[in-house]
Structure 1
């Protein structure tokens, strides 16, 4: 799994202009089963995405198609981890998604 930290590197007005395209991009990856959750950081300095396990190269290729990345308005920091424990609610969600 990965935690992807998106940090804005452009003025907020420019980010806001591309957010609908970014949200459409997110939706495509949710529909494809790549992303588990996402949202904005409380500091309004960026966003966070948590993904399913996949090859790192696949994730990097997906991130390169994010409209905010294409426009060079964000910087991605990717943290890979193996989930060895989850809350019971997450285990049930994961089981439901797998079937």
Structure 2
């Protein structure tokens, strides 16, 4: 299983982003429960967000990211980055599965 960084960048005013926030959080929780998402949070300053994820392929993760209500609602653009960590501290070693 590979690790991914899903990087969201807002392309609409934050009021439009906030209108989809509840749907976005429900989407995050659904994929966390399924074992795909291991962490998420806002960028500082609030220009988007980051999701740390596990999956089988970059293509599958990009297809999943496209279903994010922020992306589907055209308030954010997404970049999916496959990440091959060279080192993980013991405190986060479980991220690699």
Mark yes or no: TM-score above 0.5.
yes
- Structure 2 residues not aligned, in runs of 5+: none
- Structure 1 residues not aligned, in runs of 5+: none
The structure whose Rg is larger is: 1
TM-score by length of 1: 0.87
Match of 2:23 in 1: 21
Report the alpha carbon displacement of residue 84 of structure 1 after superposing the two structures with TM: 2.8
Match of 1:49 in 2: 51
Listed one character per residue, the Cα deviations across residues 25-81 of structure 1 (whole Å, up to 9, x for unaligned) are 000100000011110011100000111142112111111111111111101112212
Q: CA RMSD in A?
A: 1.5
Runs of 4+ aligned structure 1 residues displaced above 2 Å come to none
Higher strand proportion, which one?
Answer: 2
Residues 8 and 78, structure 2, Cα contact 8 Å, conserved in 1: yes
TM-score by length of 2: 0.89
How many residue pairs match? The answer is 95
